[in-house]
C-alpha cells in the first residue's frame, strides 16, 4: 500500500474524502489536541497502523455531550481507539488541593474544559450510544490508572 505523503492524518470527513476513503479502519479519539509528534503515544500508534496499511482518522477533543460528534467519519470498518490524552483527565482538571485548573497545556491556546472528567469512560459511552457494540480499544495513562475501578 502507498505511504502517506499528505502530512497529517485526517481530522475531518472532507480530509478523509480527499484521500479517497469511504470510511476509516480506525477512528482514534483523544482528549488532547492532535499533535503528530513521536513524544505522543497516539502519534506513534496511529503512524504504525498507517504504515501497516490501515486507514486512521483522528478525532481530537470531540464534543462529549453529543454522540454525533463521534459520527464525523461514519462507522469505522474495524473500531475506535480511545485515550483521555497524555495526562489523566482528573489530574488535568484539578490540583492536589482539589481546586479547578484554569488552563490545559494539551488544548489549543491552553483553553481549559475541552475534555470531560474521566474522559475515557465518557468517550466510550458516546461511542456506544452512536454505534452500539462496535470494538473499542482504550489506552493511555487514564486507562492504566483507573483500570480496576472502571474497566474490570
Dump pLDDT digits (tens) for 22-58: 999 999 999 988 989 888 888 999 999 999 999 999 9
Provide the grid cell at 139. Answer: 489506552
User: How buried is 137 (Cβ within 10 angstroms: 0-12 exposed, 13-18 middle, 19+ buried)?
Assistant: middle
Q: What is the pLDDT of residue 84?
A: 87
Angle at 67 (CA atoms; ends 106, 144), nearest 5 degrees: 50
Range name among 13-27, 54-68, 132-146 with the lowest pLDDT average: 132-146
Give the sheet arrangement for strand 136-139, strand by strand.
56-60, 26-30, 79-83, 136-139
Q: What is the pLDDT of residue 6?
A: 56
Report pTM.
0.86
C-beta separation of 31 from 61 below 8 A: yes
Provide the grid cell at 18. Answer: 480527499
Give the distance between the most distant pair of CA atoms in the chain: 51
Beta pairing partners, 79: 26
- In the predicted structure, residue 1 carries a pLDDT above the cut 50: no
Amino acid at each position: 500500500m502507498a505511504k502517506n505523503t499528505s502530512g497529517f492524518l485526517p481530522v475531518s470527513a472532507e480530509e478523509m474524502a480527499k484521500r479517497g476513503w469511504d470510511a476509516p479502519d480506525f477512528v482514534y479519539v483523544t482528549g488532547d489536541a492532535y499533535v503528530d509528534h513521536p513524544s505522543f503515544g497516539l502519534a506513534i500508534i496511529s503512524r504504525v497502523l498507517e504504515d501497516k496499511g490501515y486507514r486512521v482518522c483522528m478525532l481530537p477533543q470531540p464534543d462529549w455531550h453529543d454522540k454525533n460528534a463521534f459520527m464525523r467519519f461514519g462507522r469505522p470498518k474495524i473500531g475506535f481507539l480511545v485515550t483521555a490524552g497524555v495526562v489523566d483527565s482528573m489530574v488535568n482538571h484539578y490540583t492536589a488541593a482539589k481546586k479547578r485548573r484554569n488552563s490545559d497545556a494539551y488544548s489549543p491556546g491552553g483553553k481549559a474544559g475541552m475534555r470531560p472528567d474521566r474522559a475515557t469512560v465518557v468517550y466510550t459511552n458516546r461511542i456506544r450510544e452512536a454505534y452500539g457494540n462496535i470494538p473499542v480499544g482504550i489506552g493511555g495513562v487514564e486507562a492504566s490508572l483507573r483500570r480496576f475501578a472502571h474497566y474490570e
